[in-house]
Structure 1
Amino acid sequence: MGKQGKKQSHLNRQQCRGAKTSSYYEEQDQEYPSTPLASPFEEQNNESQQENSAEEVDENEQNQSNSDVPSKFWLYQQSVQSPKGDVSYLQKFFLMYVGGRMPLHLQEDFCGTALLSVEWLRTDARRTAVGLDFDVDALNWCMENNVNKVGADVSSRLFLFHGNVLQPLEAVLINSVPQDLVRNLSLKDSEDGAVTVPPLGSEGSSETMICNGTMKDTQMPARDIVCAFNYSCCCLHSRKELVLYFKYAHSILSKRGGIFVMDVYGGTSAECELRMQRKFSTFTYVWEQEGFDVIQRKTRISLHFNLQKQHKKIRHAFSYSWRLWSLPEIKDCLDEAGFSSVHFWVRSMPDSEDIKTINGFGIGRDIKYEHVTSFHQQDSWNAYIVGVA
């Protein structure tokens, strides 16, 4: 994409988001896409380092018309996400902490290409999913490459919104949900009533509204599960924002019980400069972590891709400024937002010095999360945090 394309993309983002009111908006002013990243700590193995002889190309200068160059969103899905594993844990957490019924209605905040939502819908024909993300390019790619290729039965149960999690009422529905389906879902979920997101900070919620294009006006089933994965809550830099978002998540959960699930990473290696690689058959995924500000608890994370066949490097495919929240901070904010209990599921990861270069997903998928009430600091760990409503 040339300079004109970069300028137009930036203007489009400005028109979509309106006035800036928080640090989440301020970060979006930079020429970085908003899709969150995921750490190579997630899966590990040892392998020799790839040669760095490829031509360097900034993501914004990438020739999008070149069919030989894969999309950064496809590369992200292949190298980072594990939707089947996430769905399995979500269902496990719901049955453990709520129980009494199967979870059917999911909301995936910061959904990016909504790969998790699509996987959720595949697993049960009764399920619905709501996806919300700020990055219109990711959502458009999702529609073309994930939603439109799974069949009408799956895609018709997905509500996909473009907007900010701090202003969910203004999020715009970008795919068409059949109204007879919405009515049927409302009848089946009549014990809850359909939920329309209330203004943040208000009490209660409307039972039914007519779909006319925004989340505020869209009738949807109350959610059994709300999730924010790929460390997305690190995009929220202040405690006020985090509590506000948690209150929103709490407000759309079913009155019969529901859960909010997020993930976070940490360890001593999370608070220093770090560069790691994961090698796949046709490309190498590179995680780059800049220095860590111990006062503001902020760092910048960049994701690069080295393409073997094309001999190109897509630098800064995704880049973002993160506030690395601690587990006690997150628990305090969830408590304040009204969740009745908070649970930590943590898994230890190999030391970063031993896995600077890894091959594929390696052994990481064999490392299970365990419920803990205390956990001693180490080089690297990942955690699911479950808030129960």
Structure 2
Amino acid sequence: MSKSKSKNIKSGKPTMASVADRFDCYQKSVQTPDHEVVFFEQAYRDAYGSSPTDLREDFCGTFAICCDWVASKSKRTAIGVDFCSETLQWGRDNNLAKLKKSQQKRVRLIEQDVRKRNRPTVDVLAAQNFSFWIFKTREEVIEYFKIARSNLRSKGVMVMDMMGGGECYEEGLVDKRKIVKGKKGFKYHWEQVSFNPITADASFAISFKFADGSKLKRAFEYHWRFWTIPEVREMLAEAGFSESHIYWENDDDDIDDDEYSNWE
């Protein structure tokens, strides 16, 4: 126990971790909705030479991307799909509520399994933050991809993000980043808990450490199948997608080009 945390307990003051909102910490640490909206626009323009209007966000959680999407242009609509009622309600209270009434009307939320067909179809379907890795067999992933394809218009794109590289298979590796500085600040810890090289099953956890030394340990836990880019491209093709492209995120601060300018 840290000294700062001990002082808080002795004085009767609540720790920062005890009053922290894990969803708020997550959004500040993991999500950049404005960047996602720009990338979706870029990917659609690269494919069709025009601007997309309608978005579906599968595994939407607090649907921050949906909210940024409808705020970016006056005719844009968004559908957020997730089966967690708690997460969706947090998004209603903290993200949707910040939009103008006219923008709120263009966001539709559906509490259900993402493996269901809905209408209307959309221009862009997003499955971000490795969410589809919850499906651990090829059959499950292909089934999901087929349904995702059916939720797209004939001129539509599906967007997913991936992670990879040798370090991703190292158990116990923790990536630490300071998110907010100062006395009210906190750090984000991404922990690679376990990896099974035989099944490719992997577990990850997100924790938050606060300026007073208190921790929100394993605020979020994930148990996934670690899929690789070649596997995903093969499954997309089997599900009926005509082509797939890989965009590499530019981490070099000296690069003046688009953030996702490299693709194949």
Q: Hey, which bits of structure 1, 4+ residues long, moved more than 2 A? A: 51-56, 347-350, 363-373
Q: Which runs of 5+ in 2 are unaligned?
A: 7-15
| TM-score (structure 1 length as normaliser) | 0.60
Question: In the alignment, which of 129, 132, 136 is matched to residue 237 of structure 1?
Answer: 136
1:107 is aligned to 56
Q: Could you tell me how far 1:291 is from its partner in structure 2? A: 2.9
Partner residue, 2:159: 261
Residue 306 of structure 1: SS of its match in structure 2? strand
One of 322, 327, 351 as aligned partner of 2:224:
322
Q: 1:321 to 1:347 in 2, by over 3 A?
A: same
Q: 1:121 aligns with which of 70, 79, 89?
A: 70
With over 3 angstroms needed to count, the CA separation of the structure-2 counterparts of 1:365 and 1:111, relative to structure 1, is farther
Rounded Cα–Cα distance in structure 2 between residues aligned with 1:371 and 1:238: 30
Tell me how far 1:370 sits from its aligned partner.
4.0
Is 2:193–2:204's contact at 8 Å kept on the other side of the alignment? yes
Matched letter for residue 135 of structure 2: L
1:371 corresponds to: 262
Q: Deviations over 1:252-284 (max 9, x none)?
A: 1113x0100100100000011211211121111
The aligned counterpart of 1:81 is: 31
Q: Look up the match of 2:12.
A: none
CA displacement 1:99-151 (0-9 Å, x = unmatched): 2x421000000111000110000011101000011222110100111112212
Q: Distance in 2 between matches of 1:365 and 1:129?
A: 32
Q: CA deviation at 1:332?
A: 0.8
Separation in structure 2 between the aligned mates of residue 81 and residue 293 of structure 1, nearest angstrom: 28
- 2:147 — aligned with what? 248
C-alpha separation between the residues in 2 aligned to 1:89 and 1:160? 22
Is 1:337 aligned to 2:259, yes or no? Answer: no
TM, length-normalised to structure 2: 0.87
> CA-to-partner distance for each residue in 1:285-339, whole Å, 9 max, x for gaps?
1111123211111211000011225x42111110011111111110011101111
1:303 aligns with 2:206: yes
2:42 is matched with: 92
Unaligned ranges ≥5, structure 1: 1-50, 57-65, 169-196, 198-214, 351-362, 374-389
CA contact (8 A) 1:54 1:306 kept: no
SS in 2 for 1:148: helix
Distance 1:53 1:287, change over 3 A: farther
2:80 pairs with 1:131: yes
Who is 1:294 aligned against? 197
Supply the distance in 2 between the matched residues of 1:364 and 1:133 (Cα, whole angstroms): 38
Q: 1:130 to 1:54 in 2, by over 3 A?
A: farther
Q: Which moved more, 1:229-238 or 1:260-269?
A: 229-238
Check conservation: 2:17, 2:215, Cα contact below 8 A. no
Q: Is 1:312 matched up with 2:214?
A: yes
Paired residues of 1:223 and 1:258 also in contact (CA < 8 A): yes
> Are the aligned partners of 1:55 and 1:312 in contact in 2 as well (CA < 8 Å)?
yes
Supply the distance in 1 between the matched residues of 2:4 and 2:23 (Cα, whole angstroms): 20
Structure of greater relative contact order (alpha carbons < 8 Å, 6+ residues apart): 1
Contact 2:39 2:260 in 1 (8 A): no
The root-mean-square deviation of aligned C-alpha atoms, in Å, is 2.6
Question: Retained in 2: the 8 A contact 1:343–1:371?
Answer: no
Letter in 1 for 2:215: K
In 2 relative to 1, CA 316–102 (structure 1 residues): closer, same or farther, beyond 3 Å?
same
**Structure 1 residues 151 and 260, CA gap change in structure 2 (3 angstroms):** same
Task: Report the identity percentage.
Answer: 33
What is the CA distance between 1:54 and its match in structure 2?
Answer: 6.3
What are the within-5 Å matches in structure 2 for residues 1-389 of structure 1? 69-99=19-49, 101-166=50-115, 168=116, 197=117, 220-255=119-154, 257-273=155-171, 274-279=173-178, 280-281=180-181, 282-309=185-212, 311-347=213-249, 368-373=259-264
C-alpha contact (below 8 Å) 2:17/2:209 kept by paired residues = no
Whether the 8 Å CA contact 2:194–2:202 is kept in 1: the answer is: yes
Q: CA deviation at 1:224?
A: 0.2
Total equivalences in the alignment: 250
> Which amino acid is 1:114 matched to?
F
Counterpart contact for 2:37–2:65, Cα < 8 Å: yes
Question: What SS class does the counterpart of residue 266 from structure 1 fall into?
Answer: coil
Distance 1:96 1:372, change over 3 A: closer
Q: 1:54 to 1:349 in 2, by over 3 A?
A: farther
